[in-house]
Structures are given as structure tokens and as C-alpha cells.
């Protein structure tokens, strides 16, 4: 999830929603209906759906910053959404990735 998008609302990528649904129904023992309801609620946020050009940019980010492919996709989505920083569940309390938008 990304916070601090251009209008200070929440934003996320379709990748995050997909990963949430899989984890919620597998690891959190939510029913598919419960997970779907949460995904519907997130529909009020800005959602980035990567296109071909996003995959190309993510490949460059992966090489430049030596990060995983999946993290590169998230960083690219955060850039498209105008976020200044990315926090993940593995980096609670610290910024995973931060960059200047200049």
C-alpha cells in the first residue's frame, strides 16, 4: 500500500490487491467473500494497473537499485502514483524505498 499520493489519499497497485487476496484466503483463513469485500472497499482508493511500459521501467529499477522484480514493480507503481516513499509489511517502522520526484 502507498500513502501520501498526490492528494494525500491512499493508493495501491493491482499487484498489492492480488497479493492481499491470495494471502488473506490462504494465510489469514478469510473466506473468499470476506477478502472480496475488503478489495471492494479499496476500490475507493487510486489503483495503478501496470501496462507494458511499467514493466519496462520496473526492469530498469530492478537493475539500478538491485531489488527484486516484485519490489521493482511496487516502486514503479509508487512513482506513477506520485508517492514519495514505500513501506511494506517487511519494513514496518522504516521506509523501504524513498526518492526525490525532481
Average pLDDT, the chain: 82
Q: What's the pLDDT at 98?
A: 60
CB atoms within 10 A of CB 20: 18
Give the tens place of pLDDT for each residue, 16-59. 999 999 999 999 999 999 999 999 999 989 999 999 999 999 99
In the chain, what are the domain boundaries?
Answer: 11-98
The per-residue pLDDT for 80 is 92
| pLDDT at position 10 | 79
**pLDDT reading at 5 higher than 50:** no
Amino acid at each position: 500500500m502507498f500513502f501520501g499520493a498526490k492528494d494525500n489519499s491512499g493508493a495501491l497497485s493491482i499487484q498489492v490487491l492480488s497479493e492481499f487476496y491470495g494471502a488473506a484466503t490462504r494465510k489469514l483463513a478469510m473466506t473468499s467473500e470476506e477478502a472480496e469485500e475488503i478489495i471492494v472497499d479499496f476500490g475507493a482508493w487510486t489503483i495503478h494497473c501496470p501496462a507494458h511500459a511499467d514493466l519496462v521501467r520496473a526492469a530498469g529499477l530492478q537493475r539500478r537499485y538491485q531489488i527484486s522484480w516484485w519490489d521493482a514493480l511496487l516502486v514503479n507503481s509508487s512513482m506513477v502514483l506520485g508517492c514519495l516513499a514505500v513501506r511494506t509489511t517487511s519494513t514496518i517502522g522504516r521506509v523501504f524505498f524513498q526518492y526525490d520526484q525532481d
